[in-house]
Structure 1
Amino acid sequence: MPPFREDAIPENGETKDANSNPLPGFKGYPANRDHPLKSSLKWIEGKQIDDAVGPYWRIHDGLYDLTKFIEKHPGGKIWIESTKGTDITEAFESSHISTHAEKLLPKFFVKNAEGPRNSPYTFREDGFYKTFKRKIRPVLKEVGTGPEWSMILIQDGLAIATALTALTACLLNSTGFAVLGGIFLAMTCMCAHNFFHQRDNWRMYLFDLTFLSSHDWRITHGLSHHLYTNTIYDFEIAVLEPFWEFLPKPEKNLLQRYGSYVYEYLFIPTALYIEALKRICLLVSREVPLRPENLLPVLELVLMCLLAPSLGSALRLWLVMHLACSSWFTGVGLVVAHHHPEIYHEGDAMREDRDWGLCQLDAVRDRVEVTGNLFLVSTTFGDHTLHHLLPTVDHSKLKYFYPVFLETCKEFDIPFSFKRQWDMVCGKYLQLANNTPNAGPPGYKRKFS
């Protein structure tokens, strides 16, 4: 496993990180980014084109053949199977805190990669992220990465609450209970997001009770948004365009800058319906297979038809429940962590030190009202900074890593701070209106108000 390339050594002989990229960002505009049917499939196909590593997997500056390891991967085969032909450096580093996976890599080494990585991020041994990982290993060994009983109680309790309110809605033919059931369903989905980041488990499929797909989100959220946050490779930025234009593009028109005050009240309730229609189109065109969990919302409708006074009532209550779910899930998701003029978005000046962990800090903010309350953390995407740095660690375990995280921030002169939820709500609209990229790099060298 080659740590350095020969062309990564400057003329003065001083060694630099093998992942160094002299470009100010990615090497080019992502393939398939503007495809009319944005999906996990199109994102992966585009990345295969851009990374150009043939039938292999790239990690740092080595090419590996992980074909024989797909079925053996402890986290589940999707993570390796779906990323064939791409650079998985960020995914490899952020998913494996211990050194075990790194020690296995030489068995699968094929050859050195040609040319620099497409990604601008670095993972220097003396950099912020690698230092943080080394510091938390003793804590990780002591507390583990899996869910505590409190997390299980919250997740299962929300699923039961969803079932009970949907049942009550049918028996009473109550729109109000259908709305409440939709809110519980959205919270169940948000909590299940914690589980689909982990190794395969049945609770991750609670995410599929909505019109969303845990399989697709492992790619569009886990492999795209988490690894390339707020960049042109972030699927969750691209999929919102042109209606929510969060990148500070000078060419944004007035409707894109200020129209969301009005039209988002149409799009937020229907966002999950749009995702369902996209999946149906991909299924009909046979671009993707039908997965059993995709039928869970249909199963909900069938059960509601058996309980409601009529088929029409069941259909109405089911549609209302998912309308409420979409409203809650999408509305909350847009204002919790990533969008504010102070937060890095592609187009802003990048920090000079491209350490992946530092760039994650630039693109994420945590809310003071949420941290410390596991229910709020798990149902409103809380403790988001640590979740981005340690995506495979259960939300219930993140609290144990705060002391080491803050200690590492102090070591690297990073005055980490929280923002208030209202600031993030206002920040969303301010960022949408913003069409002037930040000329100075983000960086925690200055504190945010």
Structure 2
Amino acid sequence: MAPKTEKFEDSNENDLMLTGFRHYPTDRNLPNKSPHTWLNGKRIDDDVGPYWRVHNKLYDLTDFIDKHPGGKDWLKTTKGIDITEAFESAHISTGAEKLLSKYYVKNISTPRNSPYTFHEDGFYKTFKRKAQPVLKKVGRGPSWSMVLIQDSIVLTFALLLISAAATGSHMLAVIAGVLLTMTGFCAHNFFHQRDNWRMYYFDLTLFSSYDWRITHGLSHHLFTNTIYDYEISSVEPFLEFLPKRNKSTLQRYGCYIYEFFFVSVLQYVEALKRICMILFGKQEIRPENLLPIMELLLMATIASSFSIASRLWLEMHLFCSASFIFVGLAVAHHHPDIYHAGDAMREDRDWGLCQLDAVRDRVEVTGNLFLVSTTFGDHALHHLLPTVDHSKLSYLYPVLLETCKEFGIPFRFMRQWDLFIGKYRQLANITPNVIPAGYINE
């Protein structure tokens, strides 16, 4: 099936060309979209056959899947896809490029669907070169502080879960939901890295670390706030973050009210979709998918009845879903001054610069590892180098600011309140920015 080229769903003035991509994402508008429909659509749009594309070359990594240091799932899921952005952001040194040459198949002349560039003298490649000696000195993996924070949160969550079941306390179930939210935020740091057992803490929520490696790691992180960002399309039409001129009044302002119901059930919806995919044979069940069921069974053995345990378990995950999504949507990516598909893009399509256009960091969080790890902090650096542990990102601020200064890029922090209000301003926004986001108010 040939990739589609169609109008961006908005108006005649705001068409596909403004998004920067050559094709409108296949299956983006399916009502039952999932990580797997996103991958299948990407395969159609990238059209590289049974290979992996990096820049303008095709590689056959089939024999390397089981040898991949990051884990075989990263390569198994991306077969038949242009992985240029994923390859560049995951590998900081040049070792991976040398290894890649062993699996070279041929050059490809078809232009990439993605608009992003990775020139050797560009912003992103320059930043990576400057980051290499810093990371060689401090390392890329988690510090003992990061491990202590993650494990302590999970232990506290487990104790609260047991206490809630033993006492039948709804308040303890809600507090357990708060700790479960923090567990998910923190574990997100680990599933970006090579396979490790702490990444499965994320599966204690009703979300899936495997699915999120696709929808968050391969989609949102690489194509932030674009039409290929699953985290944008998955909440539509209830939450319309793109500046479409045809938003209804209900979408623009009614979301202030119905958002709270929507975010409360979203984890349940994703879990039900995953169960349906498994039942219909479109997805294999994974051992970590059973962790929420194990929570329920544990609570049932402690509580006075299965009915009470079920209610407490549902309340816990309801609050986790509400707080996880509500916080996640308000901390980094949504404000009228931040790039969203339909806004004017900068002429220099360097991937690193476009990432900075689509994210803002908060002054209240930076510098505090606990807040960074539990509320998506140091987010610009995390997007630029997602496989670097959160505990090592602070070492890279001098390098980032130096590179920004070299390229004349204004790097900004925002206050959390401005981002919170900005999220609702963006939901109501129907006017695309005509000035690239990196230069607004300059």
Distance 1:23 1:368, change over 3 A: closer
Whichever residue aligns with residue 189 of structure 1, its letter is G
2:334 to 318, 330, 339: 339
Matched, 1:86 2:85: no
1:30 to 19, 25, 35: 25
The answer for the alignment partner of 2:410 in structure 1 is 415
2: CA distance, partners of 1:176 / 1:38? 35
Whichever residue aligns with residue 137 of structure 2, its letter is E
Residues 180-259 of structure 1 mapped to structure 2, 5 A cutoff: 180-259=175-254
Report how far residue 444 of structure 1 moved.
3.8
Asked whether the equivalents of residues 18 and 342 of structure 2 are also in contact (C-alpha less than 8 Å), the reply is: no
The answer for the alignment partner of 1:15 in structure 2 is none
1: CA distance, partners of 2:115 / 2:403? 22
2: CA distance, partners of 1:58 / 1:92? 10
2: CA distance, partners of 1:86 / 1:327? 33
1: CA distance, partners of 2:189 / 2:39? 22
Report how far residue 81 of structure 1 moved.
0.8
Output the TM-score relative to the length of structure 1.
Answer: 0.94
1:167 to 149, 162, 182: 162
The answer for the alignment partner of 1:18 in structure 2 is none
Whichever residue aligns with residue 332 of structure 1, its letter is V
Matched, 1:116 2:117: no
Whichever residue aligns with residue 251 of structure 1, its letter is N
Matched, 1:308 2:300: no
Q: Give the secondary structure class of the aligned counterpart of 2:58.
A: strand
Matched, 1:429 2:428: no
Report how far residue 445 of structure 1 moved.
7.2
2:35 to 37, 40, 56: 40
The answer for the alignment partner of 1:127 in structure 2 is 122
Whichever residue aligns with residue 167 of structure 1, its letter is I
Asked whether the equivalents of residues 414 and 445 of structure 1 are also in contact (C-alpha less than 8 Å), the reply is: no
Distance 1:170 1:445, change over 3 A: closer
Report how far residue 381 of structure 1 moved.
0.3
2: CA distance, partners of 1:67 / 1:181? 43
State the Cα deviation string for residues 191-245 of structure 1 (Å, max 9, x = none): 0000000000000000000100000000100000000000000000000100000
1: CA distance, partners of 2:19 / 2:274? 35
Matched, 1:329 2:339: no
Deviates further, 256-265 or 44-53: 256-265
Asked whether the equivalents of residues 415 and 445 of structure 1 are also in contact (C-alpha less than 8 Å), the reply is: no
* RMSD (Å), alpha carbons: 1.0
Distance 1:304 1:255, change over 3 A: same
The answer for the alignment partner of 1:404 in structure 2 is 399
The answer for the alignment partner of 2:100 in structure 1 is 105
Asked whether the equivalents of residues 28 and 233 of structure 2 are also in contact (C-alpha less than 8 Å), the reply is: yes
Whichever residue aligns with residue 409 of structure 1, its letter is C
Report how far residue 271 of structure 1 moved.
1.1
Asked whether the equivalents of residues 416 and 444 of structure 1 are also in contact (C-alpha less than 8 Å), the reply is: no
1: CA distance, partners of 2:197 / 2:271? 21
2: CA distance, partners of 1:170 / 1:178? 8
Q: Give the secondary structure class of the aligned counterpart of 2:437.
A: coil
Output the TM-score relative to the length of structure 2.
Answer: 0.95
The answer for the alignment partner of 1:294 in structure 2 is 289
Asked whether the equivalents of residues 176 and 316 of structure 2 are also in contact (C-alpha less than 8 Å), the reply is: yes
Whichever residue aligns with residue 342 of structure 1, its letter is D
Asked whether the equivalents of residues 19 and 342 of structure 2 are also in contact (C-alpha less than 8 Å), the reply is: no
2: CA distance, partners of 1:48 / 1:262? 37
Report how far residue 72 of structure 1 moved.
0.3
Quote the sequence identity (%): 68
1:375 to 367, 370, 376: 370
Asked whether the equivalents of residues 413 and 445 of structure 1 are also in contact (C-alpha less than 8 Å), the reply is: no
State the Cα deviation string for residues 18-44 of structure 1 (Å, max 9, x = none): xxxx98610011001111211111100
Asked whether the equivalents of residues 18 and 344 of structure 2 are also in contact (C-alpha less than 8 Å), the reply is: no
State the Cα deviation string for residues 366-411 of structure 1 (Å, max 9, x = none): 0000000101100000000000000000000001101111111110
Report how far residue 323 of structure 1 moved.
0.8
Asked whether the equivalents of residues 143 and 391 of structure 2 are also in contact (C-alpha less than 8 Å), the reply is: yes
2: CA distance, partners of 1:411 / 1:441? 19
Report how far residue 114 of structure 1 moved.
2.8
Distance 1:410 1:116, change over 3 A: same
Distance 1:101 1:280, change over 3 A: same
Whichever residue aligns with residue 437 of structure 2, its letter is P
State the Cα deviation string for residues 96-128 of structure 1 (Å, max 9, x = none): 000000111211110111311000000011100
The answer for the alignment partner of 1:12 in structure 2 is none
Deviates further, 278-287 or 221-230: 278-287
1: CA distance, partners of 2:294 / 2:109? 49
2: CA distance, partners of 1:204 / 1:423? 31
The answer for the alignment partner of 1:266 in structure 2 is 261
Q: Give the secondary structure class of the aligned counterpart of 1:345.
A: coil
Asked whether the equivalents of residues 183 and 374 of structure 2 are also in contact (C-alpha less than 8 Å), the reply is: yes
State the Cα deviation string for residues 315-372 of structure 1 (Å, max 9, x = none): 0110011011111101100100000000000000100000000000000000000000
1: CA distance, partners of 2:135 / 2:185? 24
2: CA distance, partners of 1:177 / 1:44? 39
2: CA distance, partners of 1:139 / 1:181? 38
1:73 to 59, 68, 75: 68
1: CA distance, partners of 2:410 / 2:436? 16
2: CA distance, partners of 1:310 / 1:82? 42
1:60 to 49, 55, 59: 55
1: CA distance, partners of 2:216 / 2:400? 23
